[in-house]
Structure 1
Amino acid sequence: MCNHAHNGRSTETFRNEGHFDLIQKQLRPGDFVVIQFGHNDQKHPHLQAYNGYPENLRRFIAEIRAKKALPILATPIARNTWTEQNGKLTYNDLLHDHAQACIALGKELNVPVLDLHQAAMEDIIRLGRDASKIYYHQGDWTHTNDYGAVRAAGYAADALRSLGGTFPEYLPLIQAVSASIKPWKPEAALLLEKPVRLAGVKGPNGTEEGTAAQDHQAEKDGGDALARLLAAVQSARGQGG
């Protein structure tokens, strides 16, 4: 398995920055390639669900298949975004169109789709806005912490196993995937703070602030809270030793 995921990238920047070139050079017949974008495409008018986004996905799929590898589409994981009117909270699905574009493209091109968006949204709505916050970095509504990441991995495992015999050529992967593990219960004392460069991102009001470059830098600097946590642990060990 080789993880080529990069935070803060869209279907456009992932290619333009050379990340997809690295994948193509390593692809072999029979390889499985999971493609998931959407959060960063959503921010740009030319990468919406009705224009650049599905066309870029279509190109990825064609080039993967040209190498006789097997593409898999994954819908973007839902955000913990809500609107409030007259004291009543309603879930605000900001990624609906991009998720549906993935599903439609999968049907058109006969590519399996892992609908992580629907699975995540169902959990968020079931728990509610405040109870769902514990699966995200503090003060954040998009970037999951480790607990949220484990939960998302469970969505992917369940989605793969549900494909069954629909895609015979994918059976080796489907059979190799274990059932999703039990949810990892978050411990509030271990939750990391929201990265400093994401502090200016507004709450779940339907938009995100900042340019794409700033968003990318914020993602890269996301380890600042982790660094402080590790420093505190090391300091405590020194005091105890």
Structure 2
Amino acid sequence: MALTRRQVTVAALAAAPVALSATGPAQSAPRRAGTLFIAGDSTAAQKYSDAAPETGWGMALPFFLQQDLSVANHAVNGRSSKSFVDEGRLDAILRLIKPGDFLLVQFGHNDEKSEDPTRYTEPWTTYQGYLRRYIEGARAKGARPMLATPVERRRFDAQGNAVTSHGEYPAAMRALAQDERVALLDIQALSIALWQRLGVEETKRYFNWTATEQDNTHFNPPGAIAVARLVAGELLHRRVLAPRDVRRLDAEIPESWITWPSPAAV
């Protein structure tokens, strides 16, 4: 897979922040205080103390946004674009979302599970169809929808090259974003560029590898922080947010900032 110069640059920033100011095309975007809602799966979801150190990137995203833009993380483990809708979770967001808010949608990991009819979608038909429901629902409420291609798993071939795992789903989402004229955060392309740059061994520090588990899908704190940095960078690059709405793109985020509440507190 050929990587563009931008993919390599953004991937390097996510892994090892350097002194780079948040300037660029998004300077013309108006300020949009409000709430950013996340609809997604386990890679983004809030995790609790019984799952630590597993960390969803949505847990780290607030560190990169100004405090007047809050994050409402509705991502849930194991959901696809279909099951999230069928369980009424999109409706729950649409009851809360208001004009000036944002809806960030990232699905793909569980849409791929053809053995499970409650979650499976076909990339160019039902997957796009369900994603349209998120777009139309947000627009009907005066909110701004955006699509994020699914973050890549940790997979390498025998030569040490990072390889894709999501089939046609990212391409289908990119095409839909163009057709619907919504912002596309290309996290799949940026994350595989990051894993390629880090390599086979170094990426283990970013995924939920523990003494008892070798998880190549879910993140630990460094991985969640790195992916959240990619998301925040794309929000800026795609002119969803202005530079004044994004912070710390060039700063180290301490792992100690990640906390896992008790499930009993929910």
| TM-score, scaled relative to structure 2 | 0.62
Instruction: Give the match for residue 144 of structure 2.
Output: 70
How is 1:33-112 mapped onto 2 (pairs within 5 angstroms)? 33-44=103-114, 46-84=120-158, 88-112=159-183
Query: Which has the larger helix fraction?
Result: 1
Q: Decide which of 177, 185, 194 is 2:246's aligned counterpart.
A: 177
Q: Equivalents in 1 of 2:114, 2:251: separation in Å?
A: 36
Deviations 1:3-55 (A, max 9, x none): 21112110111111221121011121221111111111112274132222111
Q: Read off the aligned partner of 1:143 and give its amino acid letter.
A: H
Show the counterpart of 1:117: 188
Please say if residues 236 and 246 of structure 2, whose CA atoms lie closer than 8 Å, have aligned partners that are also in contact.
yes
Higher relative contact order (CA 8 A, sep 6+): 2
Counterparts of 1:122-141 in structure 2, within 5 Å, are: 122-138=193-209, 139-141=214-216
Query: Is the counterpart of residue 149 in structure 1 residue 253 in structure 2?
Result: no
Higher alpha-carbon deviation: 96-105 or 11-20:
96-105
Which residue of 1 is the match for residue 73 of structure 2?
3
User: CA 1:183–1:152 in structure 2 vs 1: closer, same or farther (change >3 Å)?
Assistant: farther
The DSSP-based 3-state class of the residue aligned with 2:168 is: helix
Mark the runs of 5 or more structure 2 residues left unpaired by the alignment. Answer: 1-69
| Equivalent position SS for 2:222 | helix
Equivalent residue letter for 1:162: H
CA RMSD of superposed structures (Å): 2.4
Larger radius of gyration between Structure 1 and Structure 2: 1
Q: 1:66 to 1:40 in 2, by over 3 A?
A: same
- The list of structure 1 runs, each at least 4 consecutive aligned residues, that deviate by more than 6 angstroms after superposition, is none
Q: TM-score, normalised by structure 1?
A: 0.68
Residues 185, 175 of structure 1: alpha-carbon distance in 2 compared, 3 angstrom cutoff:
closer
> 2: distance between equivalents of 1:179 and 1:161?
12
Q: Which amino acid aligns with 2:179?
A: E
- In 1, Cα distance between the equivalents of 2:217 and 2:104? 20
Higher strand share: 2
